[in-house]
Structure 1
Amino acid sequence: MRPDKRQAILHGALSVFARDGYSRASIDAIAKEAEVSTRTLYNHFADKADLFRNVIQASADAAAREQIAIIERHFHRVTNLEKDLTAFGRAMSTELGNATHFALVRQINAELSHIPDDAIEAWQATGPRKVRATLAHELAKLGFKDSARAAVHLMMLTMTGDPSIRGSRPSDDDIRAGVRVFLHGQDVEKRRETTT
């Protein structure tokens, strides 16, 4: 198995799945995008479901590493919850560069019932759950009592834009307001805060 061919297939498949979704994507279109024959594709992957599972896992892993790096950078030294969580929300909204991955996620959400369960599980375990666990760990260190739930709430309140506009990102005002709502609704152990 030549790794360069496998990577070309994964890259081509990511583009096609992100554009067409799982159901509409064809092996022929993926092979053409990857510039390989369908026979070469089947030498590396058993079928479309196996290819999709590998694609979403690789893409989710890359996106998770990027998000975890932002979490670690912003939670390294928090001195003012509102200010620092707002800066974190802004970074998560603006610094994530993997547009193809997030297009793929939108496709997955649009056709969840047509995608094999093991592919969804692989995506969740490799990406979203890993990111939430990292964020929950950092929030626990800051005194958030139910840090797992707090992580979900913080992400929901700061990382999504207008739900009526596909793929929209939140404005700075939306992020700031989201952080205020988040802090108002959370049970946080008292901790000394300083302003900078």
Structure 2
Amino acid sequence: MARGVRGGQGLARVAVVVRAGVAPMWWLGVFAAGVGLLIPGLTGRRIGVMAGAALFIIAAVVVSYTRRKRYVALARPAVRAGKHDVLQDRAVSVRNWRRGHRWWLLLAWLVVLGSSFAVPVAGGMLLAGCGTGLGLKAAWLGRRERAEDALLWVRVDWLGAHGGSPAGKTVKAYRSTGIAAGDAAPGGARRRTAALV
């Protein structure tokens, strides 16, 4: 639901939404690359592995740095979340993103798996590199959140039904909370709770 009680808005953590694609892209890419090692392909395994390593690095860098200015521009005018705003749990945000992108992920995996018959390993490494890039972007957001001592949130209704990009055209600005709000740490990882003594 986009609206909370008494006119509040449902808010999802920006870094959590960014981080949601890391695990599926990484593991699907690694699996596809592993299968590619079993296929000679047109270029041979050696060339495929070398091309895959290059594509992994390029994808990680490109995805990590893409739209950073947009994130900064949205964060700059961020206003404090209201007391009636509802902070979405990390697990819900991750599930919504993955559910909305499941067919895209499946299609991407099938494409990179099929590409192994031409260039073994390379497609899988490219997909894994994209996942790594998202992880690096989430870590960058986490450093900004720690530096500003504030967590960044985006309205759920601006993400759309399929859990779109937190830097998409429909997103007008972010909201912020204190560093301890919600159940995710800066950068979107699970918050570590201190053991009870």
Report the TM range for the smaller structure's normalisation: 0.3 to 0.5
Give TM-score scaled by structure 2 length.
0.35
Relative to the length of structure 1, the TM-score reads 0.35
More strand, by proportion: 2
Compare the two structures and name the one with the higher helix fraction.
1
